[in-house]
Structure 1
Amino acid sequence: MAGAKGTQRMSAEDRLEQILDVAVRLIGEKGYNGFSLQDVASEIGVSQTAVIHRILNKQNLLMLVLQRYYDHTGAANQYLAQFKPGGPREGDRPRIPEMMRVTVEQNSKQPELVRLFEMLNTESMYPGHPAHDYFVHRTQDISDGYYSTDWLVPDGVDGHLVYMLAYAAMYGLEGRWLANPEIDYPAEWQRYADYLFPSPVWDGYR
């Protein structure tokens, strides 16, 4: 992540990108409660007012971080991109167990971003929370994501139901893991996956 200080003139988009890069690094080092907008400003060599001008407030900065780095560069998107025209697995069909596994592997390496996601997800249960609509829509987006993809699913299996159960199980396990980092998140997920995608039904579909 970029952290170089400098007051050189930047476009609005470049400055926002710089702020988000620094914010991701600071959040990873200090956690949500440990960093401030002044920390971000000091890292890039501008005033706190200049940072606020771009991102409005700390809560909005967290939302921007999630949208930019969690949603659009997530493991699920990267996995599915392999099956698109020109991708290395073009002509093959994506598998739900495989996508969940690579998502868990990536999330296990970025606990601070997962912690931010879980925190905002919990806080946003209140309709007045600025992230409320985001998380309401995210649930629908996950559901829609099943129908917009040609998954390889065993005959007779309700793929959409299993897909949604897998996401619910993953989010629940993430909460356990964040509360107790001694849990081996990927290994524990594999235990979940054995129940969600049992043999012999899912053999050849993982």
Structure 2
Amino acid sequence: RLLSLLVTDDYDQQGTPADFAKSGLPGSDQDGMLFPAYLRFLVRYNAQRRSLVQLYMVLETESFSADHPLHDYFEDRPDLTWEHYSRFAWSLPPQIGGWDHMRPIVRQCIEAMDGVQLRWMRRPPIDLYDEWLVFERMIFPSPVWDGYR
């Protein structure tokens, strides 16, 4: 259960949209943050905490067991992430139709990021950030997302 606390009280509390809003980075305007810019911030943040990301990924895999202390956490992760991200103001392309239409895109981002992070842990090494940028172009395609990245 100590590892559970590490995930919920440490890992999940860092690299958040609130941290991004305070960063002053491009796209971090609190009145309308750019979601792809936040994800790039998160990827860069995670690249600096490789061992913690690795622990997170191991725990996620182990949590397939129903008796694992983090089983429910990881089962509920897509909903928890959606609820957390929904607390922030995001500037989105008009074609998207507002934040309520972003749920499948947020889910795809979680799935892609999990996969990229797993690949990052393997050999031959890849650059986590560069690999994320490839997925970003697929998830947030041009021309719809031009000016909103």
Structure 2: how far apart are the matches of 1:79 and 1:70?
Answer: 15
Number of residue equivalences = 142
The alpha-carbon deviation at position 159 of structure 1 amounts to: 2.1
What is aligned with 1:184?
127
In the alignment, structure 1 segments of 5+ residues that lack a partner are: 1-59
Name the SS for the 2:106 alignment partner: helix
In the alignment, structure 2 segments of 5+ residues that lack a partner are: none
The alpha-carbon deviation at position 181 of structure 1 amounts to: 6.0
What is aligned with 1:124?
63
The alpha-carbon deviation at position 80 of structure 1 amounts to: 4.2
Deviating above 3 A after TM superposition, structure 1's stretches of 4 or more consecutive aligned residues are 80-83
State which drifts further: 97-106 or 72-81.
Answer: 72-81
Residues 96 and 151, structure 1, Cα contact 8 Å, conserved in 2:
yes
Structure 2: how far apart are the matches of 1:198 and 1:118?
Answer: 28
What is aligned with 1:63?
4
What letter corresponds to residue 205 of structure 1 in structure 2? Y
Residues 124 and 135, structure 1, Cα contact 8 Å, conserved in 2:
yes
Query: How does the TM-score come out when normalised to structure 2?
Result: 0.84
Structure 1: how far apart are the matches of 2:37 and 2:124?
Answer: 24
What letter corresponds to residue 151 of structure 1 in structure 2? W
What letter corresponds to residue 45 of structure 2 in structure 1? Q
Query: How does the TM-score come out when normalised to structure 1?
Result: 0.63
2:54 paired with 1:111 = no
Q: Tell me which of the two structures has the higher relative contact order, counting C-alpha pairs closer than 8 angstroms and 6 or more residues apart.
A: 2
Structure 1: how far apart are the matches of 2:58 and 2:46?
Answer: 15
The alpha-carbon deviation at position 61 of structure 1 amounts to: 1.9
The alpha-carbon deviation at position 139 of structure 1 amounts to: 2.4
State which drifts further: 155-164 or 99-108.
Answer: 155-164
Structure 1: how far apart are the matches of 2:73 and 2:124?
Answer: 27
Q: Which has the larger radius of gyration?
A: 1
The alpha-carbon deviation at position 82 of structure 1 amounts to: 6.1
Structure 2: how far apart are the matches of 1:89 and 1:174?
Answer: 27
The alpha-carbon deviation at position 182 of structure 1 amounts to: 1.2
Name the SS for the 2:137 alignment partner: helix
Residues 94 and 150, structure 1, Cα contact 8 Å, conserved in 2:
yes
Match for residue 108 of structure 2 among 162, 165, 185: 165
Structure 1 residues 168 and 65 mapped into 2: Cα distance closer, same or farther (>3 Å)? same
Match for residue 82 of structure 2 among 143, 166, 181: 143
